Copies of this chain bind each other. A is one copy, B any other.
């Protein structure tokens, strides 16, 4: 994939996310599905090697934050990119609507608990960004609180980074039409119908409000240390290549080193 195209997905600090100007079915120069699948295969092999080194080094961690509208492909991306990675070095946390003890604490409490341990790749399937998007649109917080939370999140992520966590944030960007198709397919599939609630359809109706709120959250929190990438996601094979490539690039940047042996060469087991 062309590096400059990958780079163009990154939202620079302070820049608007321009979700409405970004083509959700962009192919980013990838020829076809077959080429994409070959690329993903190679990237996953590379990812596996780098992840092993990250685990062995046991000093730093990688956090992938995955956000997107319903049916944007969060679960699918995780399945495609991380199947084949040693689960011992990889933790997926699925954040659902907060309940119980979670509600008894600030919104970052459960997120901080779920932060990847050193040596791990952590994947957030949804995240604290629900607390500045959905929480705002459903009236749980007002705009003043949302702005304050943007500040909390920037500081929280900067702290994680300072302390050894490399952060990568991905917004899976699908079109309203593609979402409609996918939701309809789920409703029509007796095996998948359970995934849909009436609230999902309500969110589909509020498409533009959600796009705006995501755009604002991305603009407010895309920083040098914890950048957002807006990944075109109408074409699943494009999405998979991009996310796999971003992860490989992030790990290559971390450049984890397998620790030196503690036993001197020539040590004999007696």
- A213 CB-CB contact with B under 8 Å: no
* Residues of B with C-beta under 8 A to A119: 104
- A200 CB-CB contact with B under 8 Å: no
Query: Judging by beta carbons under 8 Å apart, are B148 and A152 in contact?
Result: no
Option from B106, B115, B148, B158 in Cβ contact (under 8 Å) with A109 = B115
Assuming the contacts A101-B117, A155-B152, asked whether A163 and B112 have C-beta atoms less than 8 A apart, the reply is no
* Residues of B with C-beta under 8 A to A118: 103-105
Query: Judging by beta carbons under 8 Å apart, are A159 and B156 in contact?
Result: yes
Expressed in whole angstroms, the Cα–Cα distance for A164 and B162 within the complex equals: 26
Expressed in whole angstroms, the Cα–Cα distance for A115 and B113 within the complex equals: 11
Option from B58, B106, B115, B160 in Cβ contact (under 8 Å) with A160 = B106
Interface centre among A118, A148, A155, A159 (most CB of B within 10 A): A159
Option from B104, B109, B117 in Cβ contact (under 8 Å) with A112 = B109
